[in-house]
Chain A
Amino acid sequence: MEGILAVWQRDVIKFFRNRAQLIGSFAMPFMFLILFGSGMSGAMSSMLGGGGESGALAEFDFVQFMFPGIIGMTVFNTAIFSALSVVQDKEFGYMREILVSPMSRVSVAIGKVLGGSTVAVFQGLMMLIFVPFIGVSITISMVLQLIPIMFLVAFALSSIGLLIATALKTAQGFQMVIQVLIFPMLFLSGALFPLNGLPTWMDILVKINPLTYSVDMFKKIILEPEKMDPALRQAMGLDIEVFNHVITFTDEIIAVSILSIVFVVLATIRFNKAEA
């Protein structure tokens, strides 16, 4: 137990000590939200509202729509990249210090995943800095709901990251694999554009993509679709249907939890087998 905590603590200390990374982590979200988002926003509203359709659809604000997706993107990236520290520890030798201690490997793996998840939650919360500039209203109760959901999602992605990290020896290799994996998943998750009117093949990919449900949870918390006009909800692609069943928040929690458990077990088993 103490060991898990120590492994966790190390990653958290190092996260807060790394100023450059902290500041750099705002670059991508900033570009997406302000540059890409604002640009799209104008185009979207002229398309949607331009046809004389007043009322519900005129309220479609693309930047606001994107905000939960950006939080999601930040959490995914931070969580899955947190396993980079495992590869770096292998490269720089610290992994040996950990692995020759009498602490169990399971503790090390769990500590790493928890560390990555914690860091991802912090990073995700830091995105709330953008709130005043984009006109979404975030309440305390939303933040309190966001934290556990971010943690759950981050836990799943940190586990996936760890599983990949156990198989790779160099930081460079790890970064490549993650990029190749995370970008398509991000594009097919509804984080960056509404999920409606997609071609069938894409619709299938979107629905088997776990990030879709993760992003959707953030949307459900922040955008409050239950208070929206159904037409707007439809336009934002907030009613995900699988086999004619509209996916609920609870469904999503269950799905991501199962995913987390599967991957943390796989990662732990793999990690347990690795030689120092």
Chain B
Amino acid sequence: MNAILEVKGLTKNYKDFQAVKGIDLEVEEGEIFGFLGPNGAGKSTTINMLSTIIKPSTGYAKVNGFDNVKEKNKVRASIGLIFQESTLDEKLTANENLMLHCKFYGIEKSIREERIVEVLEIVDLVDKRKNIVETFSGGMKRRLEIARGLLHYPRVLFLDEPTVGLDPQTRAHIWEYILKLKEKAGITIFLTTHYMDEAEICDRVAVMDHGKLIALNTPEALKAKVGGDIIEITAEDLPKAKEIIESSYNLEVQKKDDKLSFQVEKGSEFLVQLVREMDIAITSVNLRRPTLNDVFLHLTGREIREESVSKKDMMRKSMRGPH
């Protein structure tokens, strides 16, 4: 067992409000670990505590064997950090931003040049090196931030919502780079997101809600917990249909917009039976495997805001490789 990140009983209080309510977890070296939760769940607060930006109220965290409070500077040298909001200096060029970072982190003069080219290659920005960051697109800025976060060869890279506000194509690209990093550098990646499809790429996912971890496992295991298949139907008389399904099959049915959704063990067999037995006209059916959104729904009765770009899209993009 080789935990690069160790967290015990971590809490954060803001006056009379507890943003993080006691978190325990361990992340292994080389893992991509995802923090999934809706707005205000406490993801950023947690990541800020792990990366020494804010002090925990109680509990402790250790990164790379160093204590986050007592050995701040050693932790800081071991991590790379990409914040939810941009922290580039937009009035400077990409190269100047990277060069300053080298100096802040005490990277030796003789290897700076080499490192800068290396990280710019990873994110495909070598030819933009001398440009002022102000002229970059949102996606390019994000990529530059990732490059900068890698300059000092961190053991753990923290990414707070790395793709928020980016278009689907750019998001797919960013993911390409993240996966490439894991492959190449064996770096541990800790990220937060509220995109389901992104969480699915992670090796393990912690689901966070109201400052607490309500589940922690591989995406597959989490989905297995929901069990079986998800069926969604639309019908002519929805409330009546809901009542019938609930009473005759003893199922828990959720009404969402103009459709009903519920989960069953064997989806296709059940559907056949349902269509045959139901005396209300069913207008459409949809059978699918559970997603992490269903996991969240299952655990909390609410949905996380679901966003575009399916996992499949992303995989397809990343297989095409850099262009």
Measured CB to CB, the residues of A under 8 A from B are 2-3, 5-6, 9-10, 13-14, 17-18, 92-94, 96-104, 275-276
Contacts and interface: CB of A to CB of B under 8 A. Distances in A.
B105 A102 contact: yes
Nearest to B86: A93
Interface in B31-59: 51-55
B91 A17 contact: yes
Interface in B71-90: 73-74, 76-77, 81, 83, 85-90
Contact of A99 (B53, B90, B91): B53
A96 B83 contact: yes
Interface of B: 51-55, 73-74, 76-77, 81, 83, 85-92, 96, 100-101, 103-106, 148
A93 B133 CA distance: 14
A103 B100 CA distance: 12
Contact of B88 (A94, A102, A104): A94
Contacts of A98: 104
Contacts of B76: 100-102
A103 B104 contact: yes
Given A93-B86, A94-B89, A100-B81, A10 B73 contact: no
A275 B103 contact: no
Contacts of B104: 3, 6, 97-98, 101-103
B87 A97 contact: yes
Contacts, number: 66
Contacts of B87: 93-94, 96-97
Nearest to A5: B103
Given A10-B89, A13-B96, 13 more contacts: A5-B103, A14-B92, A93-B86, A94-B87, A96-B83, A97-B89, A97-B104, A98-B104, A100-B53, A100-B81, A102-B74, A103-B106, A276-B54
A101 B105 CA distance: 6
A60 to B, nearest CB: 45
A254 B81 CA distance: 45
Given A14-B92, A100-B76, A276-B54, A2 B103 contact: yes
A102 B77 contact: yes
Contacts of B85: 93
Contacts of A94: 87-89
A16 B100 CA distance: 17
B158 to A, nearest CB: 10
A71 to B, nearest CB: 28
Given A17-B91, A101-B76, A102-B76, A96 B53 contact: yes
Contacts of B81: 96, 100
B84 to A, nearest CB: 9
Most buried by B among A9, A14, A101: A101
A103 B87 CA distance: 17
Contacts of B105: 101-103
A10 B100 contact: yes
A87 B85 CA distance: 16
Given A2-B103, A6-B100, A10-B100, A100 B91 contact: no
B101 A97 contact: yes
A100 B48 CA distance: 10
A103 B53 CA distance: 14
Contact of A93 (B51, B83, B91, B101): B83
Contact of B103 (A3, A14, A92): A3
Contacts of B92: 10, 13-14
A267 B51 CA distance: 25
A100 B77 CA distance: 9
A15 to B, nearest CB: 11
A92 B77 CA distance: 23
A251 B106 CA distance: 41
A99 B52 CA distance: 10
A276 B53 contact: yes
A17 B77 CA distance: 31
A103 B102 CA distance: 11
Nearest to B78: A102
Nearest to B106: A2
Contact of B54 (A9, A97, A104, A275): A275
